[in-house]
Structure 1
Amino acid sequence: MTLDKYRSLADRALEPFVTAAARLGLTPNGVSVLAIVVAAAAAGAFYLGGDEPLLYGVGAVLVFVNGWLDLLDGALARRLDAASEAGDLLDHALDRYADILIIAGLAAGIGRYDLGLAAVTGVLMTSYLGTQAQAVGLDRVYGGLLGRADRLALIGVVGALAVVVTDPIREFTVVGWLLIVFAVVGHVTALQRFYYAMGDLR
């Protein structure tokens, strides 16, 4: 269940946007910074969505924009032949901060910081194991049950759903259930990536 394997299709869909960004004089790093700003706005919308559910819809749209920009910065770097290790480091650091902001906004909006902590550790460990494989000489690992593209898609869908489904379902709201999924499946995905990497190192 990972959307990361469809990156090539996404890259083709991005072509018009890459062309537009290049003509506007945007840089890959500039797009990365714009993505984190959008993520912070999404987090704010989710935080306020606990009191005003319509804002969950705004947050959902902003999350999809963040994901689109996250794809755009890499495609733009390749188009401009500007890919670099420094740019890759910046992109991944900002992606992690975006993950933290968005999940913190979701947790704060429903007042469930315990679920937020469990979810964010699962998400960060998933990302860490993916890049740590590369650090020990393997290819970067994107596999497992829940990659970043999957998470952003789920957040967008649940954010839109939270606009109309406001009553708890067996104690938790739909946002609460989303955080539970991230907590459980995130750690399972991290363990999957660890298993794959260890298998390749033997």
Structure 2
Amino acid sequence: MRCLIVAAGRGSRLASRAEPKPLVPLLGLPLLERVVRTAREAGVTECCVVTGHRGEEVRRFLAGLSSRLGVPIRTVDHPGWEAGNGSSVLAGRPCVGEGPFLLLMADHLMDPAIPQALVRAAEEGALAEGEGADLLLAVDTRLDNPAVDPADVTRVRLRGERILAIGKGLEGADGYDTGAFLCGPGLFAALEEALAAGEGSLSAAVQRLAARGRARALDLRRAIGDEAWWVDVDDEAAFRRAEALLLERLRAKANDGPVSRWLNRPLSIRLTRRLAAWPLTPNQLSVAVFLLSVLAAWLLARPGYAALAAGGLLAQAASVLDGCDGELARLRHQRSDFGGWLDAVLDRYADALLLGGLAWHAYRWDGAGEAALLWGFAAVAGSFVLSYTADKYDGLMRARVTGTGWRLGRDLRVLLVAAGALLHLPLGALALTALLMNAEVLRRILVARRAAAGAGAKA
């Protein structure tokens, strides 16, 4: 499916920034790039961007972005962009043809699930002739959405799925226009009518379609749920809301352990906010964090309390930073299967080195003897088996098990290593890690066995 993106306006309320509005960077990515990446995640195969104000700069940026992403991006220069965003949509008509297409705005950031839902609707025939529609608008019916500016948002009045009215300041509204549309060729005829009447806004064309019963709403609450997010980055206040919203989304990782949730994640998000502006890829950060863990393990294995304590502090610092690579990948739309796999492999090596360094210190310098080697082996074995079972166990929890919301993992064992080093109790830390990790493995086996038995009984 093709996607038409409107990036032609002046953006006067963000004019204090040096860049054209579509190129204003937000947490490391220009607004327009975020929209293009979102469209790509929704399954779009080709983008068409309508440019206007400072269009040459925007088109030059898009040429490079197309090469980097491997996504065809065509551009349309629209000299008459000041006539309104409806005229900009009409200017993109040659680019998208007559088939259904997505329509997005360069300053509306959103959950990729929103355009994905519109694409699914197209596949299900939402724009079919006859009883179908010429336009399907993603509507947010959460009237208390804190990311929305009530004074500026475009409101929508509905009757079931039908749009009855649309506009700013609309009384008795049932939802908000998110700036994401699924469109058919009938939209262009409505745009031509609106422009001929001196109305250049997209909303004017939507209102005409609504009057004919040809404009429908996709209720995001029903289609996706309350977790679907979006924000219109119109001014500095909205820019700050968007930044806060994107960072807050990084906290929502279901498989975080207690240490990650309450200690590591709040710190790593602050670091990620700073790292987002650096020319650093998530995979490069994964390697850097691993090297920091190697240094920590070397210090743990050295004689003396100073080296031991320094190694413990570095191990915990690496544990905090270990969350930044994934956060950076999610924040920049750079998640990949390889990146997740690489991070997991490096984490396993880091675990072995940290526990091995602590065991060596207890054996060689604290005189713990064979007990250090035995507890060290048990800690490494338990940690590895726990990590090996993590993906399958998490899938089981999502599919069959409820009411068990706690999870032990790498965040806890690295904290135990750090605490044992700082308290100069390496043997105690190894023993506690071994007991906890292997006990958690046993617990998972029992939970999985009960779940499998329950599934068999239902069958």
- Per the normalisation by structure 2, the TM-score is 0.38
How do residues 1-202 of structure 1 correspond to structure 2 at under 5 angstroms? 4-5=257-258, 7=260, 10-48=264-302, 51-111=303-363, 112-133=372-393, 139=398, 143-144=406-407, 146-162=408-424, 174-201=425-452, 202=455
Which 5+ residue runs of structure 2 have no aligned equivalent? 1-254, 364-371
Q: Which moved more, 1:107-116 or 1:81-90?
A: 107-116
Change (3 A) 1:192 1:81: same
Letter aligned with residue 160 of structure 1: L
Bigger RCO (CA 8 Å, 6+ sep): 1
% identical aligned pairs: 27
Alpha-carbon separation, structure 2, partners of 1:160 and 1:46: 10
Q: Deviations over 1:22-74 (max 9, x none)?
A: 211111111111111111111101100xx211111111111111111111111
Change (3 A) 1:8 1:79: farther
Alpha-carbon separation, structure 2, partners of 1:126 and 1:133: 10
- Aligned residue in 2 for 1:171: none
C-alpha contact (below 8 Å) 1:107/1:116 kept by paired residues: yes
Change (3 A) 1:110 1:11: closer
**Structure with the larger strand share:** 2
C-alpha contact (below 8 Å) 1:129/1:194 kept by paired residues: no
Change (3 A) 1:5 1:58: closer
Over the aligned positions, Cα root-mean-square deviation in angstroms equals 2.5
C-alpha contact (below 8 Å) 2:259/2:411 kept by paired residues: no
Alpha-carbon separation, structure 1, partners of 2:428 and 2:259: 26
C-alpha contact (below 8 Å) 1:115/1:176 kept by paired residues: yes
Q: Deviations over 1:173-201 (max 9, x none)?
A: x2111111122221111111222333344
Letter aligned with residue 282 of structure 2: P
- Per the normalisation by structure 1, the TM-score is 0.81
Alpha-carbon separation, structure 2, partners of 1:192 and 1:5: 17
C-alpha contact (below 8 Å) 2:326/2:335 kept by paired residues: yes
C-alpha contact (below 8 Å) 1:158/1:175 kept by paired residues: yes
**Structure with the larger helix share:** 1
Provide the aligned length of Structure 1 versus Structure 2.
186
The structure whose Rg is larger is 2
**What is the SS of the residue equivalent to 1:81?**
coil
Alpha-carbon separation, structure 2, partners of 1:131 and 1:79: 23
C-alpha contact (below 8 Å) 1:130/1:193 kept by paired residues: no
Change (3 A) 1:93 1:157: same
Alpha-carbon separation, structure 2, partners of 1:95 and 1:143: 21
